[in-house]
């Protein structure tokens, strides 16, 4: 078995990302699922880091991650793709803000 198949599942090119974003903006759930699969480790890492920074219980991470993806789905039609890295930055901003708001509301 070639490593190319594994890599293609774990990475997407900037053009593929743009295509997935545009398709997901049109309601394509499969395209959104592909973006979720690719960015899930990134999202989980940010949530984990915020929760640890505030000494917040880690048992909420799964719920927060789900809430984040729901918010991304809901706001995706308003998102403007600005080129390579813009989607990741947009996702990261949503994750950080939502995670920080959550832990601050619990303290």
Kindly provide the b/e burial profile for residues 89-99, where b requires at least 16 CB atoms within 10 angstroms of the residue's own CB. Answer: ebbeebbeebb
- Give residue 71's pLDDT: 97
- Give residue 59's pLDDT: 85
**Average pLDDT per 10 consecutive residues for the chain, totaling 107 residues:** 39 94 97 97 96 87 94 97 94 97 87
- Give residue 1's pLDDT: 30
> pTM of the entire structure?
0.85
- Give residue 10's pLDDT: 65
- Give residue 11's pLDDT: 86
- Give residue 2's pLDDT: 32
- Burial zone of 9 (CB within 10 Å; 0-12 exposed, 13-18 middle, 19+ buried): exposed
């Amino acid at each position: 078995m070639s490593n190319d198949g594994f890599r293609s599942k774990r990475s997407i090119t900037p053009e593929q990302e743009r295509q997935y974003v545009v398709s997901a903006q049109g309601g394509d759930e499969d395209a959104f699922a592909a973006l979720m699969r690719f960015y899930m480790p990134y999202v989980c890492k940010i949530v984990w880091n915020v929760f640890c920074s505030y000494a917040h219980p880690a048992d909420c991470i799964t719920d927060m991650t789900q809430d984040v993806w729901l918010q991304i789905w809901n706001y995706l039609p308003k998102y403007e793709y600005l080129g390579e890295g813009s989607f990741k930055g947009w996702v990261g901003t949503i994750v950080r803000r939502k995670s920080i708001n959550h832990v601050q509301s619990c303290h």
